[in-house]
């Protein structure tokens, strides 16, 4: 009597990856970054879980999009696979791909479910990643503080904004006001670096560019200022910020580069 070979039941394994997007990769938009990751996962021969319906798509999500031109030193992506693979093996496959400008950090399996989405009760499933706050640093060139606005003038503008207590910005043609104490708990100048912590809001959320405009530094990026998001803190991590920072692993801390303007003549090679 022939033995009947059994196959494991279909599954949905959700993984959370920390990664850095630096160098020329900071000049690709969010949609291009999504496509880059999808191609990377397919090159690594990872069986992606697909959504239902007439146009199934890979279950890939980012808790927060990164603006064009901003380096991300601690970004987060989640995706689902139809097989179980150890986080160590998954990380090695992603590292072996060697995508320029993309550094892979912490890899964790955060949820397991049946093919129909029913959570596995034996697994400590985490909710899908949602951002709580982002921490940013914007390097200010010496030429800017010597020729455009001095460090003293920038410091005075920061203190004036804090005394005002709100930041006003425009979204979709509508003026929005947000409280600095609630949604911008860190705004300070440290040597030649402007440091920000932006907390997500239920409605329109501040962007670094909104903060620069509020303190009169609209032209900083054009003068060579390099913005970077140094940390992404998720909702399920905010109770233990030290642990959240540790998840960066060995991701590089981006340093100022010579690429201070958009490389319009640079073409990004599509890797199939």
* 119-145 tens-digit pLDDT: 999 999 999 999 999 999 999 999 999
Structural domains of the chain ordered from first start: 11-129 (3.30.70.580), 141-224 (no CATH)
Q: What is the pLDDT of residues 2-24, one digit of tens each?
A: 555 555 667 899 999 999 999 99
- Locate tokens 């010579």: which residue? 258
Q: Which pLDDT value is given to residue 10? A: 73
**Rounded CA gap, 83 and 120, in Å?**
14
Map residue 32 onto helix, strand or coil.
helix
Instruction: Tell me how many degrees the CA angle 108-111-109 measures, rounded to the nearest 5.
Output: 15
Instruction: Report the chain's mean pLDDT, rounded to a whole number.
Output: 87
* pLDDT surpassing 70 at residue 50: yes
pTM for this model (two decimals): 0.84
Q: Which pLDDT value is given to residue 267? A: 33
Distances (CA, A) of 73 to 104, 137, 183: 10, 10, 21
**Rounded CA gap, 48 and 29, in Å?**
23
Q: What is the pLDDT of residues 208-222, one digit of tens each?
A: 999 999 999 999 999
b or e along 161-199 (b: 16 or more beta carbons within 10 Å of the residue's beta carbon)? beeeeebebeeeeeebebebeebbeebebeeebbebbbb
Q: Which residues contact 124 (CB under 8 A, 6 or more apart)?
A: none
């Amino acid at each position: 009597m022939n033995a009947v070979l059994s196959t494991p039941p279909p599954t949905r394994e959700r993984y959370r990856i920390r990664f850095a997007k630096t160098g020329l990769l900071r000049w690709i938009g969010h949609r291009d970054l999504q496509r880059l990751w999808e191609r990377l996962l397919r090159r690594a021969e990872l069986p992606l879980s697909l959504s239902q319906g007439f146009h199934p798509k890979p279950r890939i999500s980012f808790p927060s999009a990164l603006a064009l031109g901003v380096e991300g030193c601690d970004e987060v992506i989640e995706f689902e696979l139809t097989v179980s693979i150890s986080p160590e093996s998954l990380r090695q496959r992603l590292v072996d791909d060697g995508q320029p400008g993309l550094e892979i950090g912490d890899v964790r399996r955060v949820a397991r479910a049946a093919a129909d989405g029913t959570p596995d009760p034996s697994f400590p499933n985490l909710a899908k990643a949602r951002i709580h706050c982002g921490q940013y640093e914007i390097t200010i060139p010496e030429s800017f503080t010597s020729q455009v606005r001095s460090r003293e003038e920038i410091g005075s503008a920061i203190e004036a904004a804090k005394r005002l207590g709100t930041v006003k910005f425009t979204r979709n043609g509508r003026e929005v006001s947000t409280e600095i104490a609630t949604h911008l708990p860190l705004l300070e100048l440290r040597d030649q670096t402007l440091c920000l912590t932006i907390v997500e809001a239920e409605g329109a959320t501040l962007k670094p560019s909104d903060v620069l405009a509020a303190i009169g530094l609209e032209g900083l990026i054009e003068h060579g200022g390099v913005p970077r998001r140094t940390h992404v803190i998720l909702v399920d991590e905010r109770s233990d910020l030290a642990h959240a920072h540790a998840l960066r692993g060995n991701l590089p801390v981006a340093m100022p580069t010579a690429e201070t303007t958009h490389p319009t003549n640079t073409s990004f090679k599509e890797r199939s």
